[in-house]
Chain A
Amino acid sequence: MVEQIIEEREIPIDGRRHVQSMLMRESLLDKQVMTSTDTPVVPMLPFCHVIKIGGRSILDNGKKAVYPLVEVLGRLLETFKLVIGTGGGVRSRHVTSIGMDLGLPTGVLAQLCIIDALGNAHMLGTLLAPFGVVAIPPEILGHMLPFFIKSAPGVICNGDPPFSIWEQPPRLGRIPPHRTDAGTFFARGVLRLRDTYPDQRCERALRGRSQAQSRCQIYWRNHRLGPQTAQPADASL
């Protein structure tokens, strides 16, 4: 094996200096190569649940909607490890409309929207602080999450993916397609956390854990294929 590596380095056949690996000299765009990479994935935080709290649907409604939810979350935190993502709500919509009127592109609108969801995460984080929930800045969420979630019952962060100016232009118009639902859902995917529950459904779903997964899947499926054009979750999901 060692000899082989040395040989590869000394006689580069195609002028490129390679490192011996399964994907060496392969085009990662070759469909056969891509298929060969379909292998099992390790679960990173299989004991956690992800909950996305809506911006406009919950937080913007003030204490009448948020206080009862905080009570529920407080009770759940006694039993479950929760990773909570927040939406940006009405302020994100407002900044989007001004930004669009000013001619700003999708990537800039995405960067602006992150800030509102972050503000909401701070507010809800303040209310959940008595229960030991830690608010984590998005830059360190990924790598510090295992540490915080082992030490605290829950963490809270903005739901957006960190795409910012790398956000992808949508098919129609220019509203960022990957918003807080999508961001929370992607994070769930990589960390192999448990299901993403939209808003108020969390308690019911978590309490009936045996059926939780299928219920969550049905929720997404119904709304992805539903007849209405307006969906309760980001269409990019």
Chain B
Amino acid sequence: MDNQPLDRLTSALVSGSVTDEEEMARLDRQPVIQILPDANVIKIGGQSFIDRGREAVFPLIDEIVENLPKHKMIIGTGAGTRARHSYSVGLDLGMPTGVLSVLGFFVSIQNAKMIHYLLARHGIPSIEPAQFAQLPLYLAERQACVCVGMPPYAYWQPNPEIGRIPPHRTDTGCYLISETLGCRSMIFVKDEEGLYTADPKKDPNAKFIPKITVDELMELDLVDVVLERTVFQLMKNAKNRRSVQVINGLKRGNLTRALNGEPVGTLIFA
């Protein structure tokens, strides 16, 4: 049982400084495993989707149920307009970013609970961060599981570069689940076809972008983007999930096509 790479790694970590990134990266020879390679992570938008009510949500729930025989799905939820309300009140009251992060988490929980109850008759559970160890069992048994989209950073949410709104919100939380667990895909369900050069709701001249790299996207330096900017930086460092898809969930069939690996919406890759 001779494992020289491990010996070198252990002695470097134990005796050296972990903060010497380059040396550690050089010794890091083993590929990262995919923990749940068959699972797809689907994020359902808060403001863009759930806040539209049954008109938008019911057809998507039907489509998720139709896909249960073929695809495993981890379904995360966004926060939406109530988070904007509590951020507004919180900002006015002088709340720090970490407290705003807790408030955003609460709204994301509400949305996860609602989606969960709509899927409950199909035996699909909903989990909070502490229950993630049960996720593999639920996926094996029931093919899908609902979770809170917001990462549980709470008071430890890093401050943003601009302003005070938590920079790591539900897009980031769902993306990190797909990266850490080495999932099959990361699909963001929104109410627009995908990425545009500007917010198409405000700017009629906004142009649709079907496919773009993270570097190209950063170079464009758009005033407004469809996903949290932290996702792009994380994608560049990712070991597993280096592409994400943004789709219009209001169009029936888009989710199914995305799950089947078809190009629909915008593909962003690193």
Given the interface contacts A169-B239, A173-B28, does A24 sit within 8 Å of B3 by beta carbon? no
Given contacts A104-B33, A107-B179, contact A234 B224 (CB under 8 A): no
Contact among B95, B153, B157 with A41 in the assembled complex (CB-CB below 8 Å): B95
B52 part of interface (Cβ distance < 8 Å): yes
Partner of B224 from A27, A41, A100 at Cβ < 8 Å: A27
Q: Smallest CB–CB gap between B69 and chain A, Å?
A: 28
B240: chain A residues within 8 A (beta carbon): 105
Contact, CB under 8 Å: B84 / A171? no
Q: Does B163 contact A (CB under 8 A)?
A: yes
Q: Roughly how many angstroms separate A83 CA and B226 CA in the complex, as a whole number? A: 39
- Contacts A17-B51, A105-B240, A229-B20 given; indicate if A28 touches B96 (C-beta within 8 A): no
Give the interface segment out of A74-82, A128-136, A187-195. A187-195
Q: Does A150 contact B (CB under 8 A)?
A: no
Contacts of B98 on A, CB cut-off 8 Å? 142, 186, 189-191
B225 at the interface (CB under 8 A from A): yes
For A187, list chain B residues within 8 Å (CB): 155-156
Could you tell me if B3 and A41 are in contact, using CB atoms closer than 8 angstroms?
A: no
Q: Which of B92, B153, B176, B237 contacts A162 (CB 8 A)?
A: B153
- A42 close to B (CB within 8 Å): yes
Interface residues of B in 209-239 (CB under 8 A from A): 223-229, 234, 236-239
In whole angstroms, what is the CA distance A31 to B22 when docked? 33
Binary contact readout A32-45 vs B (1 if CB under 8 angstroms, 0 otherwise): 11111111111010
Which residue, of A21, A96, A231, has the highest number of chain B Cβ atoms within 10 A?
Answer: A21
Q: Bound state CA distance, A190 and B153, in angstroms? A: 12
Chain B residues within 8 Å of chain A by Cβ, number:
89
Contact at B87–A23, with CB atoms within 8 Å? yes
Instruction: Please tell me which one of the listed residues B14, B95, B177 contacts residue A97 in the complex, with CB atoms under 8 A apart.
Output: B14
- Residues of B near A174 (CB, < 8 A) are 28, 32, 239
How many residues on chain A are close to B (CB under 8 Å)?
A: 79
Interfacial chain A residues near B162, Cβ < 8 Å: 31, 34-35, 38
Judge whether B37 is part of the interface by a CB distance below 8 angstroms: no
Instruction: Specify which of A28, A166, A167, A178 is in contact with B84 (CB 8 Å cutoff).
Output: A28
In the complex formed, the residue of A with least CB distance to B181 is A165
How far is it, in angstroms, between the C-alpha of A25 and the C-alpha of B153 when the chains are bound? 25
B17, B84, B179 interface centre (most CB from chain A within 10 Å): B84
Q: Which of B22, B35, B152, B155 contacts A229 (CB 8 A)?
A: B22
Asked if B30 lies at the interface with its beta carbon under 8 angstroms from chain A, I say: yes
A43-74 to B contact mask, C-beta < 8 Å, 1/0: 01000000000000000000000000000000
**Given that A35-B163, A44-B96 are known contacts, is A21 also in contact with B88, CB under 8 Å in the complex?**
yes
Q: Would A21 and B85 count as touching, CB distance under 8 A? A: yes
B binding-site residues for A, Cβ under 8 Å? 3, 5-6, 9-10, 12-14, 16-25, 28, 30-33, 35, 47-48, 51-53, 55-56, 81-82, 84-85, 87-89, 91-99, 102, 129-130, 132, 151-160, 162-165, 169, 173, 176-177, 179-182, 191, 199, 201, 223-229, 234, 236-240
Residues on A lying within 8 angstroms of B by beta carbon are: 14-42, 44, 90, 93-94, 96-98, 100-108, 139, 141-142, 161-175, 178-179, 183, 186-187, 189-192, 229-235
25 contacts between A and B (CB under 8 A): A21-B88, A21-B89, A37-B91, A41-B96, A42-B94, A94-B14, A96-B18, A98-B6, A100-B9, A104-B32, A105-B35, A107-B176, A107-B179, A107-B180, A142-B155, A163-B151, A166-B173, A166-B176, A175-B21, A178-B156, A186-B156, A187-B156, A189-B98, A190-B157, A231-B19
